[in-house]
């Protein structure tokens, strides 16, 4: 038994033709980030289509994360702040020498304005995946620092850093305030109470759709996925000293890893 399936063109799917046209205009710079696109009536007239067709086309572009709804329900081109993160030991040490967290340093190098906002600092029982990577029993106390990373006034990542409570007790890491140079400056401070030298990290990266809470915190449009990065940081003696659990908007990040091969 054979089945003949006719190939459909964009003309046979008028909403796709409208979506393709608006997408080309956005990507070509006709409608810059943050600017309103033509109204439904204007698009219907320009493409010789009904408003229902236009609405369906705009729904596709919203799902792609290309546009969002602005004031007055008028669609606007979604801002596209993006930071490229290059992970190398050289980068890490250079940024530590400058007294800057890695995210801030790399954003500044790319001509962008980063900032970090503290959402919470607390002592909590270690979640199972954190405990396993820190080599402690599940439920053992850890100190978590929950941060939001911003780029050009747009939230781009949620970052939770977990530290063994007995390691960071009495240090600035336990305090709900920003730390110059980040938590690693406290860990490596030769005059501090911890005095450990950071040697390496292991990253586990996966992609998924955001939870409703993550989508709300990051201002994500429907259909925009996230990266989840689980990083375990080790000292020179091979002891794990931090687990970082980050959720990063996929359309606002690119990652590059350089690996020495001997």
Per-residue pLDDT tens digits for 49-69: 999 999 999 988 887 778 887
| CA geometry: angle 50, 19, 10, nearest 5 deg | 85
Per-residue pLDDT tens digits for 71-105: 557 888 877 778 989 988 888 989 888 888 889 98
Mean pLDDT lowest among 9-23, 174-188, 208-222: 9-23
> Which residues lie across from 208 on neighbouring strands?
226
Task: Using the 3D structure, point to which of 44, 77, 110 is the last residue of a domain.
Answer: 77
Residues 250 and 130 reside in one and the same domain: yes
Q: What pLDDT is recorded for position 222?
A: 76
The most confident of 28-32, 40-44, 159-163, by mean pLDDT: 159-163
Q: What pLDDT is recorded for position 12?
A: 58
Residues 125 and 197 reside in one and the same domain: yes
Residues 43 and 59 reside in one and the same domain: yes
For residue 197, the enclosing domain spans: 83-257
Asked whether the predicted pLDDT for residue 110 surpasses 50, the reply is yes
Q: What pLDDT is recorded for position 176?
A: 96
Indicate whether 174 belongs to any domain: yes
Indicate whether 5 belongs to any domain: no
Q: What pLDDT is recorded for position 70?
A: 62
Per-residue pLDDT tens digits for 157-172: 999 999 999 999 999 9
Indicate whether 4 belongs to any domain: no
Give the Cα separation of 6 and 13 in Å (integer).
Answer: 13
Token pair recorded at residue 155: 């939230």
**For the domain that residue 65 is a member of, what is the CATH number?**
1.10.10.10
Residues 73 and 87 reside in one and the same domain: no
Work out how many domains the chain is built from and give that number: 2
Q: What is the mean pLDDT of the chain?
A: 89
Q: What share of the chain in percent tops pLDDT 90?
A: 65
């Amino acid at each position: 038994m054979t089945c003949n399936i006719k190939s459909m063109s964009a003309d046979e799917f008028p909403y796709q033709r409208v979506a393709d046209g608006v997408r080309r205009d956005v990507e070509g710079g006709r409608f810059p980030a943050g600017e309103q696109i033509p109204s439904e009536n204007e698009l219907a007239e320009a493409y010789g289509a009904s408003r229902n067709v236009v609405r369906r086309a705009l729904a596709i572009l919203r799902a792609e994360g290309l546009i969002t709804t602005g004031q007055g329900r008028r669609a606007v081109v979604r801002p596209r702040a993006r930071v490229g993160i290059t992970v190398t030991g050289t980068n890490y040490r250079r940024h530590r020498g400058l007294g800057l967290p890695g995210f801030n340093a790399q954003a500044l190098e790319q001509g962008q304005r980063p900032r970090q906002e503290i959402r919470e600092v607390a002592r909590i029982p270690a979640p199972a995946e954190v405990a396993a990577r820190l080599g402690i029993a599940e439920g053992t106390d850890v100190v978590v620092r929950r941060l939001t990373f911003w780029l050009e006034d747009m939230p781009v990542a949620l970052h939770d850093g977990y530290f063994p409570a007995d390691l960071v007790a009495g240090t600035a890491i336990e305090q709900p305030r920003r730390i110059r140079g980040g938590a690693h400056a406290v860990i490596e401070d030769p005059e501090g109470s911890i005095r450990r030298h950071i040697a390496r990290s292991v990253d586990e990266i996966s992609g998924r759709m955001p939870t409703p809470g993550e989508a709300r915190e990051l201002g994500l449009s429907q259909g925009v996925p996230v990266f989840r990065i689980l990083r375990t940081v080790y000292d020179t003696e091979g002891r794990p000293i931090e687990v970082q659990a980050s959720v990063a908007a996929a359309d606002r990040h690119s990652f590059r890893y350089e690996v020495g091969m001997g």
